[in-house]
């Protein structure tokens, strides 16, 4: 078995025992990456940096007492600023941008001895559910049906594809409305969106600031626990960062959930839900019950308003955040004609720099924030958000420890199948995930089984705020009970 197929935990233990060097482990991943260009997962490869970091990690490992991620090869989503390297959020408007600073997350990872293999593909500015809005072209799901190429999900599609195809041992992702959990479900891996404020957003290109949260994408739950601990922690540079001690998430994986209460929200049993997804959901509940948890029905009555509220709040914040991209300070600037002034420069630059989906969301966001519509749309959506959070608060106050739902309403769909239809059809992929972001809660997707087409499907667990350890333990129990070990058959 090639070392690039290992989990983070397996590689960590082998590195500490001297059974493999960080350089050899990194070379195994770099070889796999070079053979997988067809997947479009990596958009900027950094082999020289990776090998330098691997050699430094080997030196630390020889001394002993190295951190868990020391020598572990990772992929970094293109939304994270990396000093001196292209960091363009998969957008033409940031083409050529190389920041003079490092994001807090990547700083933490590098201080822990992690190895950066390169930057990963994504939807432009994290706006999308299929990785088809990227200026680099789409990433491709390693899972395949017949000759169709499938989406790896979005926006963290490159991260999901890279982990599922064993190009790296883990990858960073970001989640604004499901952008870690949905692609994780589509590619048969684990993805956790932490509590809002657990992981610093400093140096992560903003989409919707009150919803964005970074998290890890890994091959199993134990790896997610290890990776999340390294990413987490208070950051004074981020005003929304929580000043809380980071627990030992791996130590929380006891496998014991006896006496825990797991809620099944009736509102998530939506009209038109496929029998296959419902059966999968019931199977997951049975597995947790067999492990000693009490399964109870709960109500989250404002769930039906979550998707429209999200698609008011997120574009509104995006329109504000993206106003800074004007062709003056950095990034793309359009060529001007004789007689063009500053207004024409702004118009041409933003029209050339932003793709259709980003333009659509900026226009929607500007509209809902405009005079005469602010109260009708944006303020109303904020009130709905408060009610959605209250639904969860009441459930947890009643003793629920975790909530079990599907992650997505379907398995991965073909590239191009939804891009040409009503964008609302694409937005419906977020129907089970956006509530978690609106409420600021932690959520995790765990691969459960293959559907009738042979594609992976996942279940989502939602936890109490700041209780990622308990959430990971529930996910760990579900993972062990289901025993999902399927891998995509290599075709690339």
Strand intervals (E) in 185-272: 190-193, 213-218, 261-265
Nearest-angstrom CA–CA distance, 410 and 399? 30
Phi, psi of 294 (to 5 degrees): -95, 125
Element (DSSP H or E) covering residue 404: strand 402-406
- Give SS3 for 298: strand
- Listed in sequence order, the residues at least 6 apart from 39 whose beta carbon sits closer than 8 Å to its beta carbon are 139, 140, 142, 161, 162, 165, 167, 492
Q: Which residues make beta-bridge pairs with 265?
A: 298
Task: Using alpha carbons, select from 376, 336, 329, 370 the residue that is nearest to residue 352.
Answer: 336
Residue numbers annotated as active site? 77, 155, 179
Phi, psi of 68 (to 5 degrees): -55, -35
Encode burial over 398-436: b for 16+ CB neighbours within 10 A, e otherwise: eebbbbbbbbbebbbbebeebbeeebeebbbbbbbbbbb
> What's the order of all strands across the beta sheet hosting 73-77?
42-45, 115-120, 73-77, 170-175, 213-218, 190-193, 443-450, 456-463, 402-406, 261-265, 294-298
Nearest-angstrom CA–CA distance, 142 and 34? 15
Nearest-angstrom CA–CA distance, 458 and 121? 22
Do 443 and 458 touch, CB atoms closer than 8 A?
A: no
Report residue 482 as tokens.
């289901």
Nearest-angstrom CA–CA distance, 431 and 177? 9
DSSP H helices, 118-220, are 157-164, 181-187
Residue 276 neighbours by CB distance under 10 Å: 15
């Amino acid at each position: 078995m090639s070392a690039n197929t290992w989990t983070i935990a397996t590689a960590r233990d082998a590195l500490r025992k001297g059974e493999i060097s960080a350089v050899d482990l990194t070379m195994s991943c770099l070889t796999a990456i070079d053979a997988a260009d067809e997947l479009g997962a990596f958009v900027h490869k950094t082999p020289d940096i990776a090998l330098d970091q691997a050699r430094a990690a080997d030196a630390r490992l020889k001394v002993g007492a190295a951190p868990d991620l020391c020598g572990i090869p990772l992929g970094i989503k293109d939304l994270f600023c990396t000093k001196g390297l292209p960091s363009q959020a998969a957008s033409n408007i940031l083409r050529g941008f190389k920041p003079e600073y490092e994001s807090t997350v990547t700083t933490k990872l590098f201080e822990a001895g992690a190895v950066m293999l390169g930057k990963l593909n994504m939807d432009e500015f994290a706006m999308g559910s299929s990785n088809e809005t990227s200026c680099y072209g789409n990433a491709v799901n390693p899972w395949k049906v017949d000759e169709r190429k499938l989406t790896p999900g979005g926006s963290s599609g490159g991260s999901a594809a890279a982990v599922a195809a064993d190009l790296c041992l883990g990858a960073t992702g970001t989640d604004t409305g499901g952008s870690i959990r949905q692609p994780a479900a589509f590619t048969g891996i684990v993805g956790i969106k932490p509590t809002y404020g657990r992981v610093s957003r400093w140096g992560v290109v903003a989409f919707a600031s009150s919803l964005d949260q970074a998290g890890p994408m890994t091959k199993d739950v134990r790896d997610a626990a290890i990776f999340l601990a390294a990413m987490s922690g208070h950051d004074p540079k981020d005003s929304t960062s929580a000043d809380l001690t980071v627990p030992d998430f791996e130590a929380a994986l006891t496998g014991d959930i006896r006496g825990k209460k797991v809620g099944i929200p009736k509102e998530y049993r939506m009209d038109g839900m496929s029998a296959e997804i419902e059966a999968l959901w019931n199977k997951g509940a049975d597995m947790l019950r067999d492990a000693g948890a009490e399964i109870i029905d709960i109500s989250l009555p404002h769930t039906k308003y979550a998707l429209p509220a999200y698609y008011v709040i997120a574009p509104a914040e995006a329109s504000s955040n993206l106003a800074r991209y004007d062709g003056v300070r950095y990034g793309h600037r359009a060529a001007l004609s004789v007689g063009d002034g500053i207004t024409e420069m702004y118009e041409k630059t933003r029209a050339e720099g932003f793709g259709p989906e980003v333009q659509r969301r900026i226009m929607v966001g500007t509209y809902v924030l405009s005079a005469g519509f602010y109260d009708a749309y944006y303020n109303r959506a904020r009130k709905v958000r408060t009610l959605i959070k209250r639904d969860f608060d009441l459930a947890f106050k009643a003793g629920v420890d975790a909530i079990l739902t599907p992650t997505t309403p379907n398995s991965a769909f073909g590239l191009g199948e939804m891009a040409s239809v009503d964008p609302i059809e694409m937005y419906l992929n977020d129907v089970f995930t956006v509530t978690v972001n609106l409420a600021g809660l932690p959520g995790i997707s765990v691969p459960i089984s293959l559907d009738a087409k042979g594609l992976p499907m996942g279940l989502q667990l939602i936890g109490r705020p700041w209780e990622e350890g308990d959430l990971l333990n529930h996910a760990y129990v579900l993972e062990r009970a289901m025993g999902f070990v399927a891998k995509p058959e290599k075709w690339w």
